[in-house]
């Protein structure tokens, strides 16, 4: 994850235990709430849950099990950053959907909305495939970093401008298996329910 390079204080080789930002319990409770809201909003319909790889795989797996309307799961691989450490807004699709989504209700599941450039690009791209609707469920949002206002229909947590790992999110491909959301720095941070 090249975006992490701006956080020079991270030393992956030493693998410090990230400080807990959002505990497993808080995540579990919030995912249940999101699932209940989504189930109510889509009652009587069916969904395509679109998991944006790689960071969303854990969140999407838990969210899927909290939703009680019929759904199928699709995966979309994206690469948000090239050689630069900042999001350019040019998103490369590295793995495409396996089936058309025309006429279907799409729920894009994102791990984190940082600048918003990736999500904006994705929603535009997906809209060209003529789904019946496109909504977005993001686990995390960093309002301080937003460049491109992107509509988030279901949000887990708003957080400060810190680099988070765990629960699917990585630093240099590590930490995705942490069961909580953690921070690698020692700076004061906070998170609140969205």
- Could you give the residue numbers annotated as active site? 114
The rounded radius of gyration (Å) of the Cα atoms in the chain is 16
How many chain residues touch ligand IMP (CB under 6 A)? 18
Cα–Cα distance for residue pair 170/7, rounded to 1 Å: 13
Measured from the CB atom, the residue of 1 and 137 that comes closer to ligand IMP is 1
Q: By rule CB under 6 A, what string of x and - marks binding of each residue 7-46 to ligand IMP?
A: ----------------------------------------
Nearest CA-CA partner of 53 in 39, 37, 73, 31: 73
169 is a site residue for ligand IMP (CB under 6 A): yes
> Measured from the CB atom, is 68 or 187 closer to ligand IMP?
187
Verify binding: residue 59, ligand IMP, rule CB under 6 A: no
3-state secondary structure of 44: coil
Instruction: Identify which of residues 3 and 73 has a Cβ nearer to ligand IMP in the complex.
Output: 3
Considering the rule CB under 6 A, would residue 112 count as an interface residue with ligand IMP? yes
* Residue from 67, 101, 108, 117 binding ligand IMP (CB under 6 A): 117
CA distance 97 to 119: 16
Question: Is 55 a binder of ligand IMP (CB under 6 A)?
Answer: yes
- Please state, in angstroms and rounded to a whole number, the distance separating the CA atoms of residues 3 and 107: 25
Block residue for tokens 């409770």: 29
- Contact call for residue 63 and ligand IMP (CB under 6 A): no
Which tokens hold the place of 122?
């994705």
Tell the residue number behind the tokens 């460049």, with chain if given. Answer: 147
Nearest to 133 by CA among 34, 6, 57, 38: 38
Residue nearer to ligand IMP on the CB measure, 60 or 119: 119
158 binds ligand IMP (CB under 6 A): no
Judged by CB under 6 A, does residue 166 bind ligand IMP?
A: no
User: Contact at 8 Å (CB) between 123 and 149?
Assistant: no
Q: State the binding string over 86-105 for ligand IMP (x if CB under 6 A, else -).
A: -x------------------
């Amino acid at each position: 994850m090249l975006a992490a390079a701006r956080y020079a204080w991270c030393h992956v080789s030493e693998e410090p235990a990230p400080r807990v930002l959002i505990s497993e319990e808080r995540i579990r409770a919030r995912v249940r709430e999101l699932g209940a809201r989504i189930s109510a909003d889509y009652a009587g319909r069916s969904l395509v849950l679109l998991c944006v790889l790689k960071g969303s795989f854990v969140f999407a797996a838990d969210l899927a099990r909290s939703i009680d309307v019929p759904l199928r799961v699709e995966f979309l691989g994206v690469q948000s950053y090239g050689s630069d450490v900042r999001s350019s807004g040019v998103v490369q699709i590295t793995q495409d959907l396996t089936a058309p989504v025309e006429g279907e209700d799409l729920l894009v599941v994102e791990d984190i909305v940082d600048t918003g450039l990736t999500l904006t690009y994705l929603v535009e791209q997906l809209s060209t495939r003529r789904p019946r609707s496109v909504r977005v469920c993001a686990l995390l949002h960093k309002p301080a970093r937003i460049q491109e206002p992107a509509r988030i229909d279901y949000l887990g947590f708003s957080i400060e401008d810190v680099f988070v790992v765990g629960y699917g999110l990585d630093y240099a491909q590590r930490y995705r298996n942490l069961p909580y959301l953690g921070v690698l720095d020692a700076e004061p941070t906070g998170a609140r329910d969205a």
